[in-house]
């Protein structure tokens, strides 16, 4: 789960990491009155769950409250990589001397938590990593203890000039504690700045959390912003399904994420285009199948549906009952190709024998039939 | 022979009194697996499907000499269940449970490695050596004893692949679903080494999917350390670009992680990457023919 910059900064502040004073606004008037309470220039920052906000024009510096209001007027409603801006964060502008990069995340290839830092922070950090990897320092921990010695060495090298290592080291400790306390898979500060006054500040903040651990962090789960999530994907999650909308016209209903991706690949190879990824998961109640049909059919582009079930825990006769129930309570205006295999497949196919469904003998057969029916 | 599990395997089931635990205990027994014990704290002395239940893993191991544990406990208890099995010196731990918090897995992963205890999963279908022993939730009847090793990040896709092999008359030595989480106990390389050393495995299938860089690193490993033929299958070509974890994710994985990058990495070292299930089954059959 992702959260907004302003939410990350609230967590930073609670952890003792210095941030600029600021407030959240949803209207231009709010922007103006917040700006009036701040000293000097202020930054107006679009709050959306995507990177590249600055380059897209979603972050602007205002000289005075009136300009802040004008700029916010341009930023509200702007679409940044498909995310429409509904909230902006207004904060007092810092007097930046140097910008660095600092994060802690999980490195899945070595199965350790990794600190990543660079004295060249800012918007081009990925280029720095790509072109001059020697400017990126990484150090690891495998047992939830803070790697103090390596952190100290990295902290000393982060900013030039007189001693700020203690402050940087403290921020490293704080983001590490924050990650452990909240099950964050990423805590990123880019840039971490040294101000002309000699303070170390988090000028931006990004955090991502492990969905599997949200059950023990209700206060983090409450930070979820439904505006940032695809409505269908949220509905799917509530129903115990996993769903991602795509651009094609063949609706897919499959059990298991790997098989669902495999089914999409096979459709594409056969010249078709999948309309969605949909994993009905392990258990297979008729209600889930009905919800899956509803989701698939909410997309008007869908011209055919391919149901591919390989029964293991999932029983094919349960799926078949769900399909029949769906025909009873929903209007299904497109052809449906069904391939059932594995646990209770024979019973499932028997149940579907008198229906108008098109049975497929194998995945390849099902793919061919659905591609042909969708006319793609 | 086979790897990980066989006729000598004595299985204990952690979470045996739960819905999934009891159901799959029955299924494993029906397949011929020696299920010798179950563990549910507070329920020692009961029986499930004729299997004695103990309060702790150490007690179960002492009484029954179980050498393999399969875990069906809810996600929030899974890590302590793994630790308990490891502390009781069980040689192989198979964690079926999905939804385990990933940061909890970090210290456990390293501590089990240090003690040379094998963990498969979490979030996996388990391990089966066809005709000998099934430890997990996969449908047993689609398997056929033979000499193909299967290592997969997926669950149902593995069933689909095994089914297409069996349909062609191509049997399997051992099939392992390694699990879909960011941190799993054993990876492709760990298990490839075991298949390489197993005299009864002639060909290995790797089933990969988008995300992470394990397939890319495995390709290099195959080039250097594996003499047996390897055939790969990668899913996720049609998937939209994955959700990256900010800049940190991009910095770690670079350009790896896509189906195209994984396919290219394997092809570069001479590993055939099949695009359809039919191609995969035939590619494996061809290589078996060459071996024989």
Give the active site residue among A6, A36, A101, A219: A101
Same domain, B86 and B153: no
Same domain, B281 and B174: yes
Q: Give contacts of A105 with chain B, Cβ < 8 Å.
A: 245-246, 248-249, 252
Domain boundary among A69, A92, A115: A92
Q: Give contacts of B263 with chain A, Cβ < 8 Å.
A: none
Same domain, A37 and A67: yes
Backbone angles phi, psi at A60, to 5 degrees: -135, 155
Contact B160 A188 (CB under 8 A): no
A214 inside domain: yes
Give the active site residue among B143, B163, B237, B247: B247
Q: Give contacts of B209 with chain A, Cβ < 8 Å.
A: 257-258, 261
Any chain B CB within 8 A of the CB of A180? yes
Any chain B CB within 8 A of the CB of A145? no
Nearest to B245 among A185, A246, A269 (CB): A185
Q: Contact at 8 Å (CB) between B122 and B100? A: yes
Dist. CA B96–CA B26, nearest whole Å: 16
Element (H, E) at B230: strand B230-235
Same domain, B116 and B143: no
Locate all alpha helices (DSSP H) within chain A, ordered by sequence: 5-15, 28-37, 65-75, 125-131, 148-158, 165-182, 218-221, 231-238, 257-269, 286-297, 316-329, 345-352, 363-374
Q: What is the pLDDT of residues A333-352, one digit of tens each?
A: 999 999 999 888 899 999 99
What pLDDT score does A35 carry?
A: 96
Same domain, B152 and B187: yes
Domain boundary among A41, A57, A92: A92
Any chain B CB within 8 A of the CB of A257? yes
Domain boundary among A92, A125, A148: A92
Any chain B CB within 8 A of the CB of A50? no
Q: Judge whether A350 counts as a catalytic residue.
A: no
Contact A126 B250 (CB under 8 A): yes
Same domain, A167 and A191: yes
pLDDT, greater one: B25 or A355: B25
What pLDDT score does A192 carry?
A: 97
A162 inside domain: yes
If we measure between CA atoms, which residue out of B57, B35, B66, B61 comes closest to residue B133?
B35
pLDDT confidence band for B247 (50 / 70 / 90): low
Measured between CA atoms, the residue of chain A closest to residue B110 is A142
A14 inside domain: no
Same domain, B40 and B102: yes
Measured between CA atoms, the residue of chain A closest to residue B236 is A261
Q: Give which of A271, A310, A315, A376 to mutate to test B binding, by max B Cβ within 10 Å.
A: A310
Same domain, B176 and B60: no
Same domain, B112 and B15: yes
If we measure between CA atoms, which residue out of A119, A117, A246, A129 comes closest to residue A188?
A117
- The CATH number that applies at residue A157 is 3.30.470.20
Q: Contact at 8 Å (CB) between B128 and B138? A: yes
Q: What is the mean pLDDT of chain A?
A: 93
Dist. CA B292–CA B288, nearest whole Å: 6
Same domain, B153 and B269: yes
Q: Give which of A54, A140, A262, A284 to mutate to test B binding, by max B Cβ within 10 Å.
A: A262
Counting the structural domains of chain B, the total is 2
Q: Judge whether B237 counts as a catalytic residue.
A: no
Q: What is the dihedral of CA A193, A195, A199, A204, to 10 degrees?
A: -30
- The CATH number that applies at residue B178 is 3.40.50.261
Measured between CA atoms, the residue of chain B closest to residue A312 is B139
Same domain, A88 and A100: no
Element (H, E) at B16: none
Contact A186 B158 (CB under 8 A): no
DSSP A147: -
Any chain B CB within 8 A of the CB of A265? yes
Chain A residues 303-362 with a CB less than 8 Å from chain B: 310-314, 341-343
Same domain, B143 and B284: yes
Same domain, A244 and A321: yes
Q: What is the mean pLDDT of chain B?
A: 92
What pLDDT score does B246 carry?
A: 47
The proportion of chain B whose per-residue pLDDT surpasses 70, expressed as a percent, equals: 93
Six token digits for residue B60: 């179960």
Q: What is the pLDDT of residues B272-288, one digit of tens each?
A: 999 999 999 999 999 99
A3 inside domain: no
Dist. CA A294–CA A286, nearest whole Å: 12
- The CATH number that applies at residue B60 is 3.40.50.720
What pLDDT score does B285 carry?
A: 93
3-class secondary structure, A91:
strand
Same domain, A211 and A131: yes
Dist. CA A11–CA A4, nearest whole Å: 11
| Residue labelled with tokens 């950090």 | A125
- The CATH number that applies at residue A247 is 3.40.50.261
Same domain, A236 and A192: no
Nearest to A106 among B102, B139, B157 (CB): B102
A4 inside domain: no
Q: Give contacts of A346 with chain B, Cβ < 8 Å.
A: none
Nearest to B248 among A109, A186, A363 (CB): A186
Same domain, A175 and A257: no
If we measure between CA atoms, which residue out of B133, B62, B140, B149 comes closest to residue B94?
B133
Using CB atoms within 10 Å of the CB of residue B288, give its burial: 0 to 12 exposed, 13 to 18 middle, 19+ buried: middle
Mean pLDDT of A291-309: 96
Mean pLDDT of B65-86: 97
- Give me the interface pTM, i.e. the ipTM: 0.89
Same domain, B16 and B98: yes
Same domain, A278 and A170: no
B128 inside domain: no
Contact A212 B100 (CB under 8 A): yes
pLDDT confidence band for B242 (50 / 70 / 90): low
Contact B276 A269 (CB under 8 A): yes
Nearest to A261 among B105, B209, B254 (CB): B209
A139 inside domain: yes
A290 inside domain: yes
What pLDDT score does B244 carry?
A: 40
Same domain, A214 and A335: no
Domain boundary among B61, B88, B120: B120
Give the closest-approach CA distance of A32 to chain B in angstroms. 31
Nearest to A144 among B76, B107, B157 (CB): B107
A11 inside domain: no
Domain boundary among B73, B89, B120: B120
Measured between CA atoms, the residue of chain B closest to residue A117 is B248
Counting the structural domains of chain A, the total is 3
Any chain B CB within 8 A of the CB of A110? no
Q: What is the pLDDT of residues A62-118, one digit of tens each?
A: 999 999 999 999 999 999 988 999 999 999 999 999 999 999 999 988 999 999 999
Give the closest-approach CA distance of A245 to chain B in angstroms. 9
Q: Give contacts of B142 with chain A, Cβ < 8 Å.
A: 342
Q: Give contacts of B99 with chain A, Cβ < 8 Å.
A: 212
Nearest to B155 among A107, A183, A256 (CB): A256
Mean pLDDT of B108-132: 96
List, edge to edge, every strand of the sheet that includes B68-71.
B47-48, B51-54, B34-39, B10-14, B68-71, B92-95, B118-120
What pLDDT score does B253 carry?
A: 53
Same domain, A242 and A355: yes
B131 inside domain: no
Which residues constitute the domain of residue A60? 21-92
Same domain, A183 and A200: yes
Task: Collect all residues with Cβ–Cβ distance below 8 Å to B263 and sequence separation of at least 6.
Answer: B232, B234, B273
Same domain, B195 and B168: yes
Q: Which residues of A322-336 are buried (b: 16+ CB within 10 A; e: fewer)?
A: bbbbbbeeeeeebbb
Same domain, B49 and B182: no
Q: Give contacts of A112 with chain B, Cβ < 8 Å.
A: 106, 110
Nearest to A310 among B107, B156, B214 (CB): B156
Backbone angles phi, psi at B162, to 5 degrees: -60, -40
Dist. CA B167–CA B172, nearest whole Å: 12
- The CATH number that applies at residue A77 is 3.30.1490.20
Using CB atoms within 10 Å of the CB of residue B79, give its burial: 0 to 12 exposed, 13 to 18 middle, 19+ buried: buried
Which residues constitute the domain of residue B48? 10-120
If we measure between CA atoms, which residue out of A234, A369, A235, A236 comes closest to residue A303?
A369
Task: Collect all residues with Cβ–Cβ distance below 8 Å to B92 and sequence separation of at least 6.
Answer: B4, B5, B9, B67, B68, B69, B117, B118, B120, B127, B135
Same domain, A208 and A257: no
Q: Contact at 8 Å (CB) between A248 and A301? A: yes
Given CA atoms A331, A243, B21, B143 in this order, what sign does their dihedral have? Answer: positive
Distances (CA, A) of A284 to A11, A324, B72, B212: 40, 13, 19, 30
Dist. CA A309–CA A344, nearest whole Å: 11
| Residue labelled with tokens 């949200």 | A214
């Amino acid at each position: 789960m992702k959260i907004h910059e302003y939410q990350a900064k609230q967590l930073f502040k609670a952890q003792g990491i210095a941030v600029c004073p600021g407030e959240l606004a949803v209207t231009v008037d709010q922007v103006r009155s917040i700006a009036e309470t701040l000293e000097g220039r202020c930054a107006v920052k679009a709050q959306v769950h995507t990177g590249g906000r600055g380059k897209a024009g979603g972050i602007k510096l205002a000289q005075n409250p009136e300009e802040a209001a004008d700029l916010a007027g341009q930023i509200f409603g702007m679409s940044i990589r498909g995310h429409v801006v509904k909230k902006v964060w207004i904060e007092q502008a810092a007097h930046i001397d140097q910008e660095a990069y600092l994060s802690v995340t999980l490195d899945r290839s070595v199965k350790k938590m990794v600190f990543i830092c660079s004295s060249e922070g800012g918007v081009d950090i990925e280029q720095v990593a790509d072109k001059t990897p020697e400017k990126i320092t990484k150090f690891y921990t495998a047992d939830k203890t803070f790697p103090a010695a390596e952190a100290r060495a990295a902290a000393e090298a982060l900013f030039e000039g007189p001693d700020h290592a203690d402050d940087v080291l403290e921020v490293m400790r704080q983001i590490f504690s924050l990650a452990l306390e909240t099950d964050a898979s990423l805590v990123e500060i880019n840039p971490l700045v040294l101000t002309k006054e000699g303070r170390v500040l988090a000028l931006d903040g990004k955090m991502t959390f492990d969905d599997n651990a949200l059950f023990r962090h209700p206060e983090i789960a409450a930070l979820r912003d439904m505006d940032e999530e695809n409505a269908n994907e949220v509905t799917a999650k509530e129903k115990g399904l996993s769903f991602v909308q795509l651009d094609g016209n063949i609706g897919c209903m499959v059990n298991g994420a790997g098989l669902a991706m495999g089914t999409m690949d096979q459709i594409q190879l056969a010249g078709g285009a999948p309309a969605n990824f949909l994993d009905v998961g392990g258990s297979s109640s008729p209600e889930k199948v009905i919800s899956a049909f509803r989701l698939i059919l909410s997309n008007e582009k869908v011209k055919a549906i391919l149901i591919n079930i390989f029964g293991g825990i999932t029983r094919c006769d349960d799926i078949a009952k769900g399909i029949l129930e769906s025909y009873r309570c929903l209007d299904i205006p497109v052809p449906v190709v069904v391939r059932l295999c594995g646990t209770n497949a024979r019973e499932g196919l028997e149940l579907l024998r008198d229906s108008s469904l098109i049975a497929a003998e194998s995945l390849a057969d099902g793919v061919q039939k659905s591609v042909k029916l969708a006319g793609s | 022979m086979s790897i990980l599990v066989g006729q000598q395997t004595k299985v204990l089931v952690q979470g045996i009194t739960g819905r999934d635990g009891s159901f799959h205990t029955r299924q494993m027994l029906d397949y011929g697996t020696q299920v010798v014990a179950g563990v549910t704290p507070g329920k020692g002395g009961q029986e499930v499907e004729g299997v004695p239940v103990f309060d702790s893993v150490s007690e179960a191991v002492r009484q029954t000499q179980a050498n393999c544990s399969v875990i069906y406990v809810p996600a929030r208890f899974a890590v302590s269940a793994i630790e308990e099995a490891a502390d009781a010196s069980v040689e192989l731990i198979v964690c079926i449970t999905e939804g385990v918090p990933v940061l909890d897995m970090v210290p456990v992963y390293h501590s089990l490695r240090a003690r040379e205890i094998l963990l498969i999963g979490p979030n996996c279908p388990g391990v089966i050596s066809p005709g000998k022993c099934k430890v997990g939730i996969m449908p047993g009847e689609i398997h056929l004893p033979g000499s193909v090793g299967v290592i997969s990040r997926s669950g149902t896709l593995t069933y689909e692949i095994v089914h297409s092999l069996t349909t062609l008359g191509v049997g399997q030595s051992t099939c392992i679903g390694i699990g879909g989480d960011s941190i799993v106990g054993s990876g492709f390389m760990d298990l490839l080494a075991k298949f390489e050393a197993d005299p009864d495995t002639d060909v290995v299938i790797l089933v990969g999917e988008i995300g992470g860089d394990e397939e890319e690193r495995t390709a290099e490993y195959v080039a250097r350390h594996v003499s047996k033929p390897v055939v790969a299958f990668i899913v996720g070509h049609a998937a939209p670009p994955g959700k990256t974890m900010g800049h940190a994710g991009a910095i770690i994985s670079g350009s790896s992680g896509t189906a195209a990058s994984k396919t290219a990495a394997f092809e570069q070292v001479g590993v055939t990457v099949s695009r359809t299930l039919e191609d995969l089954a035939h590619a494996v059959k061809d290589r078996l023919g060459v071996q024989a």
